[in-house]
Structures are given as structure tokens and as C-alpha cells.
Amino acid sequence: MVAIKENSTNIVLSYLKKFLEGRINNLSQSDRKNPKIYHYYIEIVRNWNKLNFIVNKTLRSLKINDVEDKLEFAKYLFSAYRIIWENALLEDINIEIPLKNTQILSRFKTFSMDKALDGKSKDERLSIQEAIPTFVIKHLSNVMSIKFLKDNIKAMNRIGEKKDFTVYMNKTIEKILNLCVIGNLQKNINLKEPLFRKDPNISFIYHIPSKYKSEIINSDLYKTGDLIIQDKASATVVYVLSPQPNELICDMCAAPGMKTSLISHYTENKTKIIAGEFLLNRAYQMKDLMNRQNISNSYIINMDSIKLPLRFENIFDKVLLDAPCTGSGTFLTNPELKWRQNEKFLSQNLILQKKLLKSAVDLLKTDGILVYSTCSLYPEEGELQILDIVDKVEPMELPKWLSPSYEIEGKTLQGTGRLFPSVHKAKGFFIGKFKKTKR
């Protein structure tokens, strides 16, 4: 194993120190593009509780008291990852990181997880082995089998095994796909595995091998907005919404704007979209995205969607409420969110979702369509929220390829479904589709 550059290591350690201090990290654009910095920070955070367990267990075996210096502890986490996950040589670690106590390195080399876990409960063992909070395990074990729970946890931990990414293409570009050249890449219909592979469920989404992602991002098609990187879960929400030309649509919690842009592209700029965002800086970011993609039919408003600054209610043909949530279905791409999962965080989101959902129904015309979604695996943020509005709406049919939602009191709620990471190779999502009934 080759030692990594000192500067890259120091940057990773500085981010880890902030993480250990409970501060939110916003990796700079250049650091995100640096494969070593991004990889080590994301993967160490992804496996934080497992690494934390290993380091603390090893420190106790050496009779070393709690390490209060966060930078020093970050070095131990980094060293443990390099040695145990990557089988790095001890001499390489000594070059990369000056440690106050180097004896710990040889202990990492011989660390036995089986012995260390002896005496732990089933939930504790699963939490450490799969690097997932016990809070998540306890919440999900009520609605899915332990095997299915493990499958989904594993799917959200396997970032290195994701072999492709998904994109949406402008309809004009799609028509000439067989002639399309992206950089040095060209779809060859004679290849057994063409560059663009149409999604089996959503006709306007294509899969591209991950190894070509940098070339796609640097292509003219991407820069002009004719080709948009769009994860399948978000595309599914828009697919379920099924926007049509001349409709008035409200995207209540629109930032960062990917669903808004997809609605516009899908209807060839023939809908009118009110896109709301509470935070001003995110509203400006969304405006920049719309400008880059030549979207002319969306109106971005910096607003609180619980009470829209509109003169009338009951005016929208369709409302999309992709509500703020715990993000418990997004740990693959957002591993930091794992370690924010607790009762308080969940409760904060539930209160906000209830208020937004009530507002969403009020905004719709009679017979208007509501799509409610969350990137969460918790029933509290999906099925249980829908129970509050069942007397005001009627369920609508969802695509058959969605998984059934969780059973509530022995019954599955009509008009609801789920995406699971282990089944659909996408983020975990709850999706519900309903028509507003007459009062």
C-alpha cells in the first residue's frame, strides 16, 4: 500500500476534527474533486461508530485514558481505517501521521472484532458490524425483518460497488442518442453493454457506467443542461407526479431544484411552476441552476411553504411536497446523517412535515393531485403522516414496480409505496399519490 500525500492527509484530518467536534462539514469544491480527500473523509465518517469502537477498545487495552485532543483522535481513526480496511504498512502510517503513541498501530493490526464484540447485545453487534446507529435499527426492526434490514444497511454502505449513475436527457438529444458523442465516448450499438442503458422502469432515465462520470460532467451536453445527472429516486417522484403541459404546479420544498428542473424538462417548459425555498442562499443556488439549464417556466420564491404568500388557496393542479426529513434513506451519499439520527431530530422533522402536508392539501384545487415524498425509511415520516389527511384525499394508483409501503394496523395504505436501496438500487424513499376530494 502506497503512503498518501501529507497535504491530503492533513486536510482529511482537519475535516475529521470538525466532525468529532459536532460541526457540520462543507467540503470545498476542490476537496470534493480530490479523490483521496473525498474518499477518506466520507468512508471514515461512514464507518465512524465501528472505528470509534476499535480505537477506544484498543486505547483501553493500552491503559490510555480518553483522548480529549480531537485532532489526535482523528489521527487514530484515520490510522485504524488505513490499517484494518486497506492493510496499509505500519511504516507508511508513521510517514503519513505523527502520532503521540505509535504502539497503538501494531494493536490495530491484530485487532479481533469477534473478541471485542463478545458480550454485546444483538442490536449493539449489528450496529457496530454494519456501522449503523442503534436508533435506526430499533425503528426499522418494527417494520421489516432483520434480514431485510441488514440488506438495506449493506446497500447504503457499499458506495464503492455502485457501478453506474443515472441521467435525464433533453428529448431532442434522446432522439439522436445513437449518433451522440460525448467527449471521446460514443454509443456503439454493436457493444453488448452500450454507454447509455435505458432504465427498465422510467423511460426518460438512462444508466451510464460510473467510470465515465468525469467525462460526462465535462461534456457540452452536461454544461448546456441537455443532460442532467438525476438519481433514480428523485426521478421516480417526478414520474409519479406525471406533470402535463399547461398545469399549474407547486414544488413546495424545491431546493436544490433538481425535481423542479426535471418537471420543466419533462414538459418542455410548458408548465407553470411555483418553486418555494425557505433559505435565501438555497433559493439563489436554485435560480443559478434554472438559468444554466435554460428553464423559463419556474418562479422561485424565497418563502415559508407552511403559509405561502399567495392571495388564494385551492389554485394548483398539482402539488409536489418532497418534505424535509431525517434522510434515513440516503446514508449511501450522506453518511454524516447517520450520526444525527435520534428522537429529537426525528420529532423536529415530523412537526414540520405535518404542517407542510396540511398546507399542501389546502393549496390544491378539488380533484388536484398531491405527491408527498420523503427520503426516509421511517414509517413516522411516511405512512403515519398520511393518516392525517386520509379524510381529505383519495388514493391514486402507483407504478407496480414500487415496493408496497409498510403495513399499518395490518393494512397497506392505498396510494403509497416505497423505494428500498437493496431492491431498487436507489435511495430509500416513501412516495404517496392522492387526489383531493370535495369537502
Active site residues: 375
For the record, the C-alpha cell of 321 comes out as 411536497
Q: Are strands 429-436 and 393-395 parallel, antiparallel or unpaired?
A: antiparallel
Residue 393 neighbours by CB under 8 Å, 6+ apart: 361, 370, 415, 434, 435, 436, 437
Q: Is the peptide bond before 309 cis (omega within 30 degrees of 0)?
A: no
The three-state secondary structure class of 158 is coil
CA pair distance 259, 273, nearest whole angstrom: 11
- Only one residue has cell 388536484, namely 368
Cell output for 152: 438495506
- What's the 3-state SS for 163-181? CEEEEEECHHHHHCHHHCE
Place of cell 458490524: 129
Concatenated DSSP letters of 84-117? IIT---HHHHHHH---S-THHHHHHHT--HHHHT
Grid cell locating 144: 421489516
Per 3-state DSSP, the chain is made up of helix, strand and coil in percentages (nearest 5) of: 45, 15, 35
Tally of CA atoms within 13 A in the half-sphere of 269 that contains its CB: 8
Main-chain phi, psi angles of 330, to 5 degrees? -120, 20
The Cα 308–Cα 281 span in angstroms is 19
- Cell (9 digits) for 319: 402539488
